[in-house]
Structures are given as C-alpha cells and as structure tokens.
Copies of this chain bind each other. A is one copy, B any other.
C-alpha cells in the first residue's frame, strides 16, 4: 500500500468498486443468500440485455465488463478483482456483458432477496448507496483520465490504481494488453510500448507477462501528471 502517494495522486478516490470500509461488514449479512459459482477463462457471467436478477461478488480470479460497438470496437467498462461487487447499479437488465478473464469463482446473490433484506435493514441500503457513490467517484476519475490524459499518464494511473486495490507491491495483471487498451481507450500496441518504456526506465519490473512490481512509485506518480 502507498497511502501517502495515493493521497497525492487522487485525493478524492481511495478505492476501486466495492472496497469501501464498513461496507464489507454490513454486506456480510448477505452471504447466507449467496451461491458460489465457478467460471472458466472467457466464460460469460452474463450478457448485455440479460435480466438483472443477480448481484455478484468476486471471490477469486478476475472479471471484465465490456460493450462491443457495431464495428467491433470494444470498450472494457471495469475490471473486477477479488472482493469487488458486480451488478449493483443495473436497472432492469444488464447494459453490458461480463466475462471471466481467468478461471474464477464468485458468489451470486439474488437481487430480490437482497432487496428484501435491505428493506428490513436500512444499513444494507445505505451500504449500497455508498458503493454507488464510490463507483460514481471512480467513474468521474476515469472520465477525466479518458478525456484529458496522455497514453503514459493513463498507464501510470492504471498501475497505481491496481497497486492500491490489491494492496501489494506485486501487481497481478491477469488481463491481456488488448483488455488494458480497451479499458484505457488505447491500442494494444500503445499499451505495450508504454510498458516497455516503464521497464527500460526502471520504474517497473516484470515477472512473467502477468505480474509487475513498481520499483519507483514516486516516478510513476510523477507520470500521472505533467
């Protein structure tokens, strides 16, 4: 964890989706109504348009949400890692699809049951609102990133974000370069080039393709801004 750096880097958003403190506890009450499900790599959790009957929580593995445009351009909405909730903000049906990046296990909660519980326990409802607030704050941060940041600034922000979320010096990147590109509004090649430069500058080191460590956190923070 890099709390000091984290603050200077993005003062208003501390957590990825579903990671607020106090939340996990009050939502732990839900675990009784959940069923564990397993997904293989690239296995779909749900498809766009499916009736939104469930909430999910990732136990192990990683999930991505995505939308595909008519011409094949793909937008990755979010990466969900262990502990993250999926589908809280769906209305009638899911507006996007979700699929496992690697073999994963999740808990599936019935929306109806959760809402029934929430009716009795206002704390649960408040927690949901709080999650949504944090999602909105994260969304705003990402709009800033997508609208106004250079390729390198985006990659640096992304790595710092992941490092905060997994709270570990060693960041796991189960997704492909294409996934990252579609998440950051860049091409796979641009992502790859940025990683190469970070490596050659000694700011990150790579251990295999899907794991990096941040060697110079300060330098990475510098890269997130001019």
Report which A residues bind B (CB closer than 8 A). Answer: 12-13, 67, 69-71, 73, 75, 77, 89, 91, 95-96, 119, 122, 125, 128-129, 132-133, 135-137, 139-140, 142-144, 146-148, 182-185, 225-226
Contacts and interface: CB of A to CB of B under 8 A. Distances in A.
Contacts of A96: 140
Chain copies in complex: 2
B69 A225 contact: yes
Contacts of A147: 75, 146, 182-185
Contact of A89 (B70, B136, B144): B136
24 contacts: A13-B95, A67-B144, A69-B148, A69-B225, A73-B148, A75-B144, A77-B140, A77-B143, A89-B132, A89-B133, A95-B137, A95-B140, A119-B122, A129-B129, A132-B133, A132-B136, A135-B136, A143-B146, A146-B146, A146-B147, A146-B185, A147-B183, A147-B184, A148-B182
Given A143-B146, A148-B185, A133 B73 contact: no
A147 B184 CA distance: 7
Contacts of A182: 147-148
B91 A133 contact: yes
A67 B69 CA distance: 29
Contacts of A183: 147
Given A125-B125, A147-B185, A226-B71, A136 B139 contact: yes
Contacts of A13: 95
A71 B225 contact: yes
Given A147-B185, A148-B185, 19 more contacts: A12-B95, A13-B95, A69-B144, A69-B148, A70-B225, A71-B225, A73-B148, A75-B143, A75-B148, A77-B144, A89-B132, A119-B122, A132-B132, A132-B136, A135-B136, A139-B140, A143-B143, A143-B146, A147-B184
